[in-house]
Amino acid sequence: MESIRKKAKELLEKNAVQVIIGYGEGLDKSVSAIFVRKPENAETLIFDDRCVHNLAVYLLKNEIKALGKPCIIAHLAALRTILQLASEHQITEDDVLVLGVTHKGELMEFAGFKDIEKYIASANIDISENEKEIINKLEAMTREERWQFWVEHLSLKCIKCYACRAACPMCYCSRCQVEYNQPQWITVEATPVGIIEWHITRAMHIAGRCVSCGECYRACPMNIPINLLNYLTVLTIKEKFNVSAGTSADLDSVMSSFKSDDKENFIKQS
Amino acid sequence: MPDFQPKIVAFVCTWCTYAGADLAGTSRIKYEPNVKIIRFPCTGRIDFMFLLKSFAYGADGVIVSGCHPNDCHYTSGNFHARRRWIVFRELVDLLGMDINRLCFSWVSAAEGAQWAEIVNSFTEQVRTLGPYKEYRELAEKDKK
Amino acid sequence: MNIEKKILKYSSLEELVLKLNRDGKQVFAPVKKDNIVDFAPVSGLYEMAEDYIVTVQSAKFVVFPNVETLFEIETSKDKITLKDKDFNSIPEIILLGTRPCDAAGFNILNAMFGGDYQDTIYSARLDKTTLVSISCNKSDAKCFCTSVNGNPGATAGSDILLTRIDNNDFLAEIVTEKGKAIVSKYPELFETVPEINKDKYMADVPVEFNLNGISEKIYSRFDSDIWLEQSLRCIGCGTCAFICPTCGCFDIQDAYDGYSGQRKRSWDSCGFSLFTLHASGHNPRNVQSQRWRQRIMHKFVYLPEQQNLLGCVGCGRCSRSCSANMNLKELLIHLKNVIENE
């Protein structure tokens, strides 16, 4: 934690960056994102077990970009997010100074995106065992049981607040599909099948881009494990196309590219 | 249910499968009339939302069919479609939708008989599965 | 005003829930499921959560549901048939376990939907709703009802206010005619009460700030930097507006499939980026700081000016569920400090 504060103060004093996007603590001890601009306020930065939010979601916000060049305190998922955003031409190396943090709180200074790629290549980016187990349990259910599970947890619970969308750093479209009504593909109202259609749409639009940060689940006020839908696409894409999002600043977009020998076992042909 | 006539929607590409279906017609090959064919320029254009909406509006089964890999009229549309279907199918399977009601195929312009065969066997499959009541009932609730 | 008091024993409340169900009412109470406590229909008191400050969502769904069909349309070749809302299909609902802050929230919605324009669907739902609230014997760091003209034992907005006393029994304050109607219908369940001072059972919610006379000062800071400062971490979702007991913004959409369909009203949030998008393409609130400013102004300046009502009941839900940790109590204290020290 001290090394983060020291480095942050130094960067601000030198005016190498104009804002540090990091974690801070509120009056009631809960953690949130903070945006430090004065060197003397670098003392308010913290880093501990509670600092799990993916701060990369703030990199593309207009009012934050207007503050100047940011330095971001980035854990593994945030680092992957940054590389994925770079692959999608949303940020460049010059746009942001990245200070990585290991889960032990050690500071990592990166010279550029290539450095970040090296770190990620050495890290474990798999979906947690816990979550894989839940997906396995779901897959072991009968189809009807699975449908019941999702009807109960999605159709009857989701209030369409779009917290999942807002918290996801990959959902940066200035006008989301749900915000079009010519035609109205996704119903505005929180109706049972409309809700399922929304979540399928989001999962498909995030497919190949999800870095499994879990923000969607954390953000959901109704505690719905929607991250499982995205994680399923992560597992499928790794298995079938051998690609993981956010591992390089130069990745081809998974769902807009292809290999002529992509394998499947369900397409009927003579 | 011998009396049940499944409603099947087929999203097909103009250059291969639609032409193939046409060939089946001109060759007078009989196949089940349950399918409504919707013509697209290419499978690459087919959005997964079309499939979901078909089920919501009353389809019991959906066929998506296009040119064989390497034969796409637009070179690579079907390759993009294939990736999309691979992910979409796994996703909706996890959700508990009935992927036995989804049929994906490559049917070329010369394969009239194969088209008929695919439609016939899929229609039988969906007939055995019965109407997709569970999805439709949920969709009805959307209208309340 | 003299509020009648009775004793409702725990076993009598159990009876009451059973009898209300039997007599055709839907009883909604806070139920714990999948780690959150939210209102759900209960057939027995045993289903109700014991340990909750407030539910995740507010109770406004009974009068202002997330999805409300306004009317239905059927068309044929030469006829258009409009089917109005069937008011008889609106159920009688008893809300059990609302908190005094929840009950106070209804006041603001009532003013919005029953002001110079009477929303008939809202009124019909309100008529069929009875609030049997339970006062708060504990609070948490996000509560601030006492700073916004509320308190953990306030009766305003409730039809009956229950306070848990010794032996798990309840002191019942019969506040309104609707409350009296329940007592008259089930007199055997309500007993006479010796003098009981309910204050000793109340949670201690320290007053953190006083907003009296602050509306004008907040408005004079319209162009201040403070809105940007406070909203930098807001991600612009609809959670706070959707779960807030006093937020009533809505969107209206038509859902037609060619020949028939419905016009529906659904919850909307001023926090969404396209909330104020005009048909011309112009968006007067196209950055988050403007939208945050609007939220505060609406609740603490415009509503007090127009309706003489404070638009916040201090329930703290927004702060608990906000994934960006926008703590409203903290932000209001900060706002007040900045205003008073400038």
**Helices H / strands E in chain A, number of each:** 10, 6
CA distance C186 to chain B (A): 35
**A162, C237: Cβ pair inside 8 Å?**
yes
pLDDT at C215: 86
Domains, chain B, in order of start with CATH, read 8-136 (3.40.50)
- Interchain contact B142–C (C-beta under 8 A): yes
pLDDT at B2: 60
Is the confidence at residue B87, as pLDDT, over 70? yes
* CA dist., res. C178 & res. B64, Å (int): 59
Over pLDDT 90: what percentage of chain A? 94
CA distance B81 to chain C (A): 27
pLDDT at A105: 84
**C262, B143: Cβ pair inside 8 Å?**
yes
Top residue of A160, A189, A258, A265 to mutate, by most chain B CBs within 10 Å, is A258
What is the per-residue pLDDT across A199-217, written as a single tens digit (0 to 9) for each? 999 999 999 999 999 999 9
Domain ranges of chain C: 4-201, 215-341
Measured between beta carbons, the chain B residues lying within 8 angstroms of C257 are 57
pLDDT at C1: 59
pLDDT tier at A241 (50, 70, 90 boundaries)?
very high
For C236, nearest residue in chain A (alpha carbons): A166
**C261, B143: Cβ pair inside 8 Å?**
yes
Q: How far is CA A205 from the centre of its chain?
A: 13
**B142, A193: Cβ pair inside 8 Å?**
yes
pLDDT at B125: 97
Of C88, C76, C171, C187, nearest to C132 by C-alpha is C171
For B144, nearest residue in chain C (alpha carbons): C69
pLDDT at C83: 94
pLDDT at A220: 97
Of B31, B55, B50, B34, nearest to B107 by C-alpha is B31
- Interchain contact B74–A (C-beta under 8 A): no
**A232, B94: Cβ pair inside 8 Å?**
yes
- Interchain contact C70–B (C-beta under 8 A): no
- Interchain contact B12–A (C-beta under 8 A): no
Interface of C with A in 198-237 (CB under 8 A): 228, 231-233, 235-237
pLDDT at C246: 97
Would you say C307 and C115 are in contact if contact means Cβ atoms under 8 Å apart?
yes
- Interchain contact C252–A (C-beta under 8 A): no
Is the confidence at residue A20, as pLDDT, over 70? yes
pLDDT at B99: 97
CA distance B88 to chain A (A): 7
Of C228, C239, C287, the CB nearest to A161: C239
What predicted TM-score, i.e. pTM, was given to this entire model? 0.96
**B49, A185: Cβ pair inside 8 Å?**
yes
pLDDT tier at A109 (50, 70, 90 boundaries)?
very high
Encoded tokens for A180 = 């079009």
Interface predicted TM-score (ipTM) over 0.90: yes
CA distance A213 to chain B (A): 19
Is the confidence at residue A164, as pLDDT, over 70? yes
Measured between beta carbons, the chain C residues lying within 8 angstroms of B140 are none
CA distance B52 to chain A (A): 7
Top residue of C66, C257, C265 to mutate, by most chain B CBs within 10 Å, is C257
Is the confidence at residue B39, as pLDDT, over 90? yes
Of C134, C100, C97, C73, nearest to C263 by C-alpha is C73
Give the number of A-B residue pairs with CB atoms closer than 8 Å: 121
What is C182-231 written as a DSSP string? HHHHSGGGEE------GGGGS---------TT-HHHHHHTTT-THHHHHH
Measured between beta carbons, the chain A residues lying within 8 angstroms of C251 are 188
Is the confidence at residue A1, as pLDDT, over 70? yes
What is C86-151 written as a DSSP string? -GGGSPPEEEES--HHHHHHHHHHHHHHBSSSB-HHHHHHHHTEEEEEE--S---TT--GGGGT--
Of C69, C257, C261, the CB nearest to B57: C257
CA distance A5 to chain B (A): 43
Burial class (CB in 10 A: 0-12, 13-18, 19+), A99: buried
For A180, nearest residue in chain C (alpha carbons): C274
Largest CA distance in chain C: 71
CA distance B49 to chain A (A): 7
Which residues are paired to B35 by β-bridges?
B8
Residue in the block written with tokens 């529906």: C264
Of A155, A9, A154, A19, nearest to A97 by C-alpha is A19
Q: How far is CA C264 from the centre of its chain?
A: 21
- Interchain contact C289–B (C-beta under 8 A): no
Per-residue pLDDT of chain C (342 residues), as tens digits, is 588 999 999 999 999 999 999 999 999 999 999 999 999 999 999 999 989 999 999 999 999 999 999 999 999 989 999 999 999 999 999 999 999 999 999 999 999 999 888 999 999 999 999 999 999 999 999 999 999 999 999 999 999 999 999 889 999 999 999 999 999 999 999 999 888 899 999 999 999 988 877 888 899 999 999 999 999 999 999 999 999 999 999 999 998 888 899 999 999 999 999 999 999 999 999 999 999 999 999 999 999 998 899 999 999 999 999 999 999 999 999 999 998 887
